[in-house]
Amino acid sequence: MFDVITIGDATFDTFFVIDNDSPQCHLNKDKTQLCLNYADKISLTSVGQSAGGNAANVAVGIKKLGLKTAIVTELGDDMNGLAVEEALTRAHVDTRLIHIRKNHQTRFSVVLNYRGERTILSYHANRTYVLPSLPQTKWIYYTSLGKTFERLQDKLIALKKRRPEIKIAANPGSYQLRYGLAHFKKILPHADILFVNKEEAAKIIGKRQPLKATMHSLHRLGPKLVLMTDGMRGSFGSDGRQIYTMPIFPITPTGKTGAGDAFASGFLTAHVLGKSLEEALRWGTANSTGVIQQVGAQRGLQTKAGIQTLLKKFNTTKPVAI
């Protein structure tokens, strides 16, 4: 019996941290543009590589917090795929549901970190998604997939109908929102939890609305719990009756890659362990706090002891009902 099986694309990520004082790089905040001098050399302060992707990040995060996890994903038979599989194995995530595609590449991303924010260059390898026969599990965390995700999602919905005891947490990826939104929304009546950020929420409901209206609109699509993150403004959680706002812990971020996945893995672990909505919001915030103080999506993921240390350190930062 697994506690959580994650489903989604895994990637091999390379991180470049650009010198904050580099004269060849600047921000155009009005147009949200990162500008690099063309045909110039840009100074880096550090580099790194790791396994990534929403499904992998959440699986590793949940496992590090003590739950039993597995991942359903497709990898190529290249060096990047081998590196991703080895990293998941080292993290003690069960990899038996990984499908290796011969003569195909693994998805990879180049992450540019500059002044605490990240810009991602992402390569999407072609996939023919298949939902394998799943072992017993309490939860499925369904997240970012690319082209042809619809067939797998349809089988996931059919599985939920056959095995209603399995709970589903859903978190859309960029392809699903941009090219398959109507189909992705079909999972929401079967979802127990929906994880989104503010921009994703607006895309799902088709417009920007005030906070309470946004949360109510998302609930009407089916999920029992709605969790929305909003960067440095913190997060929001709703059970359909009460909405809570949770501020971030007062720290200076090094990078933001994986912050949403860390929040989701912290929140979901707390929820599986029977914590209240308010306490689960604090767990999610603590886990994302650890990640944004490191470069990369997994290096700062917390253990239970780490979560408790952060909660004690920032014990005055708590959710507020609104």
Q: What is the pLDDT of residue 120?
A: 87
Q: What is the pLDDT of residue 125?
A: 79
Three-state secondary structure call for residue 321? strand
Q: What is the pLDDT of residue 253?
A: 80
Q: What is the pLDDT of residue 32?
A: 86
Q: What is the pLDDT of residue 92?
A: 97
Q: What is the pLDDT of residue 123?
A: 83
CB 270 within 8 Å of CB 286: no
Residues 6+ apart with CB under 8 A from 95: 70, 71, 85, 88, 89
- What's domain 2-10+56-106+129-321's architecture? 3-Layer(aba) Sandwich (3.40)
Exposed, middle or buried: residue 142 (CB in 10 Å: 0-12, 13-18, 19+)? buried
| Integer CA distances (angstroms), 227 to 51, 85, 93, 264, in order | 25, 30, 25, 9
Over its length of 322 residues, how does the chain's per-residue pLDDT go in tens digits? 999 999 999 999 898 989 888 888 988 888 889 999 998 989 898 888 888 899 999 999 999 999 999 999 999 999 999 999 999 999 999 999 999 999 999 988 898 988 877 888 988 878 889 999 999 999 999 999 998 999 999 999 999 999 999 999 999 999 999 999 999 999 999 999 999 999 999 999 999 999 999 999 999 999 999 999 998 899 999 999 999 999 999 988 877 778 999 999 999 999 999 999 999 999 999 999 999 888 777 888 999 999 999 999 999 999 999 9
CB atoms closer than 10 angstroms to residue 126: 12
Q: What is the pLDDT of residue 225?
A: 98
Determine the Cα–Cα distance for residues 39 and 20; give it in Å rounded to an integer.
Answer: 19
Determine the Cα–Cα distance for residues 60 and 67; give it in Å rounded to an integer.
Answer: 10
